[in-house]
Amino acid sequence: MSREIDALLLEEAMLSLDELARSCRVSREWVIEHVQWGLLPDSDRLQASPDSWAFDSRSLIRIKRIIAIERDFDSNPELAGLVADLIEEVESLRTRLKTSGLDEY
């Protein structure tokens, strides 16, 4: 039961730029560059000063995924973003299959 509560709290939590960078063990500048390249969800709404940005748990998961792809495959940010997009699409499709009862695979 407590795991469910923790998940709900994380889902609702918003992280500042510095909190997100610290959580992902990357520099603040790394996050800013990736936002400017449009590699995070809702990057287009982050037009204000970076100090006022707020990131949700989706952004945290995506950044961790992009970091792993860049590191493991020595890829550039754009390629890592594309791979992350494809992984998220596969996850979404699997969820849709599961909810429709067609998850035999």
Q: Which domains does the chain have, with CATH numbers?
A: 2-99 (1.10.1660.10)
Residues 80-98 have a mean pLDDT of 94
Mean pLDDT, the chain, integer: 85
Binning pLDDT at 50, 70 and 90, where does residue 85 land? Answer: very high
Residues 88-95 have a mean pLDDT of 94
Cα angle, residue 93 at apex, residues 88 and 97 outer, rounded to 5°: 150
- Give the percent of the chain with pLDDT over 70: 79
Binning pLDDT at 50, 70 and 90, where does residue 4 land? Answer: very low
C-alpha dihedral sign at 93, 45, 53, 66: positive
Global model pTM greater than 0.75:
yes
